[in-house]
């Protein structure tokens, strides 16, 4: 039987192994088993009562599937039950081709929330943004549905129009019409930015490592004097574990990429880059990350940062550092369990979970984003009420003024400020050497608090 390791927010990771991977769990005592059997009997009694007395006829199969999913989602945001159809959809996603709108989503308090739109898809072209809530599909509310149920409503035949109702901060709910397409996530996008190569990786599907390698080799062949590379992992929601290791191997010559640690402290599995890698032969690399960089993207960014192979520019990543093992039931005929079984750690031992990967140079993409970071808690893995802890006593950075933001007069719609700063780092030779820009203007909340303190209406403001 195959097991599947998930390392994306809503993408899936294939791995080799057997059920034995999740079987060494502490044995329950006889007393606890007795209590468990008693509760299972209670479940049967409730199901029978609902079946006999509910106001209309019920589908017991759907009730049991919902109960299974509820049990698993109570553990953490990423555990759950996959119905046979959902399990098949998962396999389609890992193959890198499926029908839909091109949105990576999760669930927050019974509401479907957008992690990020995927490059070149209907969702991206329609202006769907990370942090948007999807409240209805074709006029039908999806509030209270599981992510799998909501995604099922959004997927369908290519060419059909779908209307999503979007709730976004500071705006009234609005409808967006999108036309379904066969989603074929681009494996890599490459070009030159002056003397420096640029490669964007939108996700970690089965083609990621090969596509990245081909893109870099093509850039080098056409531009033999290339001085360095910008590796863009912004809004990359993750994907396959073996591809995260493979992508890291493109830049590293052996050594650890990531470790996976389960319930037992002795249960540590390490993943290493392939010897003889680093096809750039030491050319400097800057990695771009943002709040939509999750899981596999965080593994790669953290590995390159810890191994001093690249410096990171952008804003702190999403913080999804837990491992989901997908266990097929009867070969997938009864669906599968998606169960969190471990956490991921960078080569230096940092937990990715909740805290995310912090950049070496913090740069807000827009002036509005800088204000958002300064005035409210940014949506991340830490936003979930039942998210796993980092397991090392650390917490995610709260509201603060980012180190850099676009200056007055910069056109956010035409220019890519984070990319410009990445190029500046490459030209200077390091984050330490690059001339720093003036810190953004004081955040609105800080100005208000200072005014209140001066008037004797509030506590003094702590300077940072």
**Which residues form the catalytic set?**
295, 306, 320
Q: What residue has token string 């997938």? A: 332
Distances (CA, A) of 411 to 148, 405, 417: 39, 12, 9
CA angle 210, 347, 287 (to 5 degrees): 50
Other Cβ atoms within 10 Å of 172 Cβ, number:
6
| Sign for the pseudo-dihedral over CA of 451, 456, 459, 464 | positive
Nearest to 324 by CA among 48, 72, 70: 72
156: burial class by Cβ within 10 Å (0-12, 13-18, 19+)? middle
Q: Give the pairing type, strands 111-117 and 103-108.
A: antiparallel
8 Å CB contact between 103 and 128: yes
Helix (H) or strand (E) holding 247: helix 241-251
Q: What is the DSSP string of 369-406?
A: HHHHHHHSPPPSGGGSTTPPP-SSS-----S---SB-P
Q: How far is CA 394 from the centre of its chain?
A: 19
d(Cα 254, Cα 274) in Å, to the nearest integer? 5
d(Cα 422, Cα 424) in Å, to the nearest integer? 5
């Amino acid at each position: 039987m195959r097991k599947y390791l998930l390392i994306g927010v809503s993408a899936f990771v294939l791995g080799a192994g057997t059920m034995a991977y999740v079987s060494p769990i502490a044995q329950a005592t006889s007393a606890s088993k007795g209590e468990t059997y008693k509760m299972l009997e209670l479940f049967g009694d409730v199901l029978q009562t609902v079946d006999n007395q509910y106001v209309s006829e019920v589908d017991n199969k759907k009730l049991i599937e919902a109960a299974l999913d509820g049990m698993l989602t109570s553990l953490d945001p990423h555990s759950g039950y996959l119905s046979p159809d959902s399990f098949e959809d998962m396999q389609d996603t890992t193959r890198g081709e499926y029908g839909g709108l091109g949105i990576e989503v999760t669930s927050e308090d019974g509401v479907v929330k957008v992690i990020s739109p995927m490059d070149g898809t209907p969702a991206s072209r329609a202006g769907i943004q990370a942090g948007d809530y999807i409240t209805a599909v074709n006029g039908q509310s999806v509030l209270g549905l599981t992510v799998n149920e909501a995604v099922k409503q959004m997927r369908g035949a290519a060419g059909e129009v779908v209307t999503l109702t979007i709730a976004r901060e500071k705006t009234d709910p609005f409808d967006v019409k999108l036309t379904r397409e066969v989603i074929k996530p681009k494996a890599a996008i490459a070009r030159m930015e002056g003397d420096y190569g640029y490669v964007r990786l939108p996700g970690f599907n089965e083609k990621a490592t090969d596509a990245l390698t081909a893109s870099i080799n093509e850039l080098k062949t056409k531009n033999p004097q290339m001085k360095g590379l910008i590796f863009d992992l912004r809004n990359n929601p993750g994907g396959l574990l073996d591809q995260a290791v493979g992508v890291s191997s493109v830049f590293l010559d052996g050594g650890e990429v990531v470790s996976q640690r389960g319930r037992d402290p002795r249960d540590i599995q390490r993943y290493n880059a392939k010897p003889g890698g680093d096809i750039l032969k030491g050319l400097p690399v800057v990695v771009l990350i943002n709040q939509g960089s999750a899981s596999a993207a965080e593994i790669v960014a953290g590995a390159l940062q810890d191994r001093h192979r690249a410096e990171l520019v952008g804003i702190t990543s999403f913080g999804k550092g837990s491992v989901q093992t997908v266990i097929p039931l009867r070969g997938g005929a009864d669906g599968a369990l998606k169960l969190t079984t471990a956490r991921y750690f960078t080569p230096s031992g940092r937990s990715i979970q909740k805290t995310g990967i912090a950049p070496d140079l913090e740069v807000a993409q827009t002036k509005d984003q800088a204000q958002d970071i300064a005035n409210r808690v940014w949506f991340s893995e830490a936003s979930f009420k039942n998210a796993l802890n980092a397991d090392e006593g650390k917490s995610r950075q709260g509201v603060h003024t980012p180190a850099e933001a676009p200056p007055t007069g910069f056109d956010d719609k035409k220019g890519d400020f984070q990319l410009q700063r990445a190029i500046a780092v490459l030209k200077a030779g390091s984050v330490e050497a690059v001339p720093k820009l003036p810190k953004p203007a004081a955040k609105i909340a800080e100005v208000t608090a200072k005014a209140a303190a001066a008037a004797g209406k509030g506590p003094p403001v702590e300077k940072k």
